[in-house]
A and B are shown apart, each in its own frame.
Chain A
Amino acid sequence: MSFLERIPRRIIFLTLIIVVVVPILSPFPLPVPITKNTRNYYNIIEALEPGSVVFYGTSVETRDIEAYPQHVATLKHLKEKKAIVITYCFGAGTALGQEWVYEDAGYDELEYGTDYVHLGFVPGGDATLTAFCNDMVATKQVDHYGNPTATMPIFQKVKTIHDVDLVIASGGGTPGPDTYARIVVIPYDKVSIVQVPGAMAAMVYDFINLKVFRGGVIAQRGAVEYEAITGHAGRATTTFAPIFISSIVLILLMIFGNIAYVSNRMKEGQ
């Protein structure tokens, strides 16, 4: 029993390597039931008319297994619905990461400035976002690539946040989904959905319950569900098996470690 209580770290690390590598080398599909939040998220995008304007606060910095597949699957779905997308970033890294997302979702095949625009990094957090809602072009005069926004066809139609049909908030901190909720969604009564990594899930459950966000893709599980529902199996689906197996192993380790702990304390008590 004492071994189970104190398994050496090298054995734990070796176990983790095995349970991660094996499912990557021989992947297997997992049946993941669709949750209410993901279903609502899908339904909101599915209901968009062609030409609807979507304001998308993006947060991809790396090709990870949570934010990145959430964004790619969302943009693929938006592309199918022929939505016009405006992306806005609170960080310089996320502005660069969004370039991959556009490419990997196939948005770069569409006409830039007409079908989508990447505004890139916008410094100033709350204050700038507030100004942006009132006058987009005056607040962000050039896009991520240095092109003037005033002459873009998108901004002939979209002047303020009132011209936006859907707000998609994402991110894993502040500024992030709560910033979009406070400054964009609640004051302007916009229809909005959210996507967050698992570590930040607790932050958005309240907003979802209050219907500030009408749906949510939460954690890698949410991304897997959304990829399944849209039929675009991607990075979240292909990397889910290692997470599944390693979680089972971790839960077993925690349970047996605690059984051993309690058993040993009881023996010491006797």
Chain B
Amino acid sequence: MIRFNHVTKTYRGSTVALKDVSVDIKRGEFVFIVGPSGSGKTTFLRLITKEEVAEEGEVWVAGKEVGSLAPWKVPYLRRNIGCVFQDFRLLPTRSVYDNVAFALEVIGRPRHVVRSQVPQILKLVGLETKMDRLPGELSAGEQQRVAVARAFVNRPLILLADEPTGNLDPGTTGGIMRLLERINEYGTTVVMATHDRQIVDSMRRRVIEMGQGCVVRDQARGVYGMVDA
């Protein structure tokens, strides 16, 4: 589903963000990307959505090499990828329902699809009673659920989550993680960058650890820190 083939990415000012990274993520996997700040986790995710372009190597997503993808095809690539962020990125002036519906409307989905999909997905994330609220009236955990609903409403093949629990307390975090697991059970490949040792250790999923732009560990049922550390 996602394959990095000797990928190197350098930002202006010659900061090396990724150095010769090769990773293969299969369909339906749940993968944690861990590592200190500046280790290249976010760059890894941004290369998948072609928000950044690698200068060396290939990034394959859903059978296409992203680096050589024509610019007009990029939106169609992104329709297969849902994204969740630490800061939610909801539209503050639109209701919960409209935030989720927006994601379908702007890719031209017909109205009847929007009307049937949005309540369904909000039920999945447990917000069916708060559809008419504004994001500002919700708790942080609830806001992140809206963001997950928006990312998943188009049933993407891949869900990318960049520190999705970074702003949440431990209790709320558990809820979001169960939600991501559930989405993963539907067959969506989930890639989550995180700092949260507890989550990683408790879930025992594949862990890719980054350090200074390199993959320093890739472990099938890993924990946050080095096992022998």
Task: Report whether chain A binds chain B.
Answer: no
| Residues on A facing B (Cβ under 8 Å) | none
Enumerate chain B interface residues (CB-CB to A < 8 A).
none
